[in-house]
Amino acid sequence: MKLSWGFITSALYCAASAAQQGNVYIFDPVPRTSPQAATTVDATTARLILAQRLGLSRFHSIEKTRSEESLKQINAFGGRHQKLFGGEAADRTQAHALVWIEGVEDVEAMIKSPELWSSTLTIANPPSASDNKHLIEDMILQAQSLPQKSDPKGATYNSNQFIDHQLSELRQPELFNDYLTVLRIDLKSKDKMAKPSVEALGDMISSLMTAPEENRFAVTLVVMPPSSSNVKRAANPYGGYQRATLEAPMSLTSVEPATSPNPELPSDMEDFPVIAMTEGNDTTAPLGILPRCFESESACKKATNGCSGHGSCGVLHKGKKGERADCYGCMCKPTVVDKGDTGMEQHKKTTYWGGPACQKKDVSIPFWLFVSSGVLFAFLISGGIGLLYSVGSEELPSVIGAGVSGPARK
């Protein structure tokens, strides 16, 4: 009896673990020579793979905590590699269909022909539906902020027409930046919009792979299980990444690569365009009250975010042996902005910084100019009023006084 109960318990645990897994199905129009075996990734690696496939890798950095196995997975499942030099083929479509379905309990009923897909992934401990929605919205903003892709022969346009025709039979998809089509369906949502059946979803997904040969496009299907309210989740399950706005595309900073060259990595890893972020690249002004002195230069850089990008950490005061240690702090440097040439003069704006983290503008010079100018004007005005008063209080000359004197007594 003990053995049977243990077997039943383990079986239930395995079933529950299997239910709490996300699945990613990948279809590439030009598959690799050797198909990739199914593997399991975490949420952060899954985000990096999706960003690489959608052409958004410039907004997503590979943290130094990523292992070589994660790098291999990103390289293997990230889709078409963007070359650093040289563009894509003019007659190749840039269209991509991202289909994200939430609340799927029976994945096998939806994926009727798994052999049609190029490769598959499993996401362990998938994030909640709200986290997934937030990630999709951020990726849409990132796609919209990119320069528009060229389509001289209309291959991408024709593929988008086909995608819209196939997906609109269930629900109207959305097209972003003329290349990325996104369709998100939550089978467990409480909205009044009609929800398609699992069988209809399976037929729709299979129809995406029947595009003409010259207009075949990449498809990424993400299938998520129903979100459980009893499971503890991380505050940021997908990790950190750059967010874009439609007003101005985010600029890139040249930084060091994530790892040193390793012969065990795939040979085409050098083409992977993800930029790794180094430690201490955040130059936002720190909050709170900061001490004036730090124990070491590294502690100064970490606490002040590299002096807010307006200076460098160094020794402010040398310590005495046996009494106190060296005092490390921020040494601020002025920021000079060239305003351009106007006629014969070149205008430059210089901003001085102060504070323990060089996070405050030094307005002492404008302040003293304002105060001194105010004092000078006050002195001139008060002096003028005093001069007028003194002139008006003086006695009239004697000649004028004689002319207006009264009659003499008799």
Sorted by where each begins, the domain ranges of the chain are 18-271, 279-339+346-364
Find, among 52, 83, 53, 76, the residue nearest to 61 by Cα: 52
Mean pLDDT of 37-51: 89
Three-state secondary-structure class, residue 189: coil
Mean pLDDT of 16-25: 72
pLDDT bracket for residue 142 (50, 70, 90): very high
Cα 300 to chain centroid distance, Å, stands at 26
Mean pLDDT of 189-199: 76
pLDDT bracket for residue 406 (50, 70, 90): low
User: Is 93 within 8 Å of 159 (Cβ atoms)?
Assistant: yes
Q: Pick the residue with more confidence: 33 or 373?
A: 373
State yes or no: pLDDT of 408 exceeds 60. yes
User: Is 177 within 8 Å of 144 (Cβ atoms)?
Assistant: yes
Give first-to-last CA distance, the chain, whole Å. Answer: 151
Q: Quick one: pLDDT at residue 266?
A: 42
Q: Quick one: pLDDT at residue 327?
A: 87
The CA dihedral of 156, 158, 162, 163, to the nearest 10 degrees, is: 20
Q: Quick one: pLDDT at residue 245?
A: 61
Cα distances from 120 to residues 38, 338, 362, 377, in angstroms, run: 5, 52, 57, 78
Question: What does residue 110 show for φ and ψ, rounded to 5 degrees?
Answer: -85, -45
Q: Quick one: pLDDT at residue 410?
A: 57
Cα(215)–Cα(213) distance, rounded to whole angstroms? 6
Q: Quick one: pLDDT at residue 219?
A: 93
Q: Quick one: pLDDT at residue 81?
A: 58
Q: Quick one: pLDDT at residue 308?
A: 85
Q: Quick one: pLDDT at residue 88?
A: 55
Cα(104)–Cα(292) distance, rounded to whole angstroms? 56
Mean pLDDT of 271-279: 39
- What percent of the chain clears pLDDT 70, i.e. is strictly above it? 72
User: Is 132 within 8 Å of 252 (Cβ atoms)?
Assistant: no
| Residues forming beta bridges with residue 315, ordered by sequence position | 328
Cα(162)–Cα(139) distance, rounded to whole angstroms? 23
Q: What residues contact residue 54 under an 8 Å CB cut-off, 6+ apart?
A: 96, 98, 139, 143, 180, 220
Is residue 368 classed exposed, middle or buried when 0-12, 13-18 and 19+ CB atoms within 10 A define those classes? exposed
State yes or no: pLDDT of 283 exceeds 50. yes
Q: Quick one: pLDDT at residue 220?
A: 94
Q: What is the pLDDT of residues 149-174, one digit of tens each?
A: 888 888 899 999 999 998 988 888 99
Q: Which single residue is written with the structure tokens 């991380």?
A: 234
**Among the ranges given (93-107, 158-172, 252-266, 311-325), the one the predictor scored with the smallest mean pLDDT:** 252-266
Q: Pick the residue with more confidence: 70 or 221?
A: 221
Q: What is the pLDDT of residues 322-375, one digit of tens each?
A: 667 788 899 888 888 776 665 556 677 788 888 888 888 877 777 888 889 999
Cα(255)–Cα(64) distance, rounded to whole angstroms? 13
Q: What residues contact residue 323 under an 8 Å CB cut-off, 6+ apart?
A: none
Three-state secondary-structure class, residue 21: strand
Q: Report the relative pairing of strands 39-41 and 96-102 from DSSP bridges.
A: unpaired
Mean pLDDT of 48-57: 92
Q: Quick one: pLDDT at residue 67?
A: 81
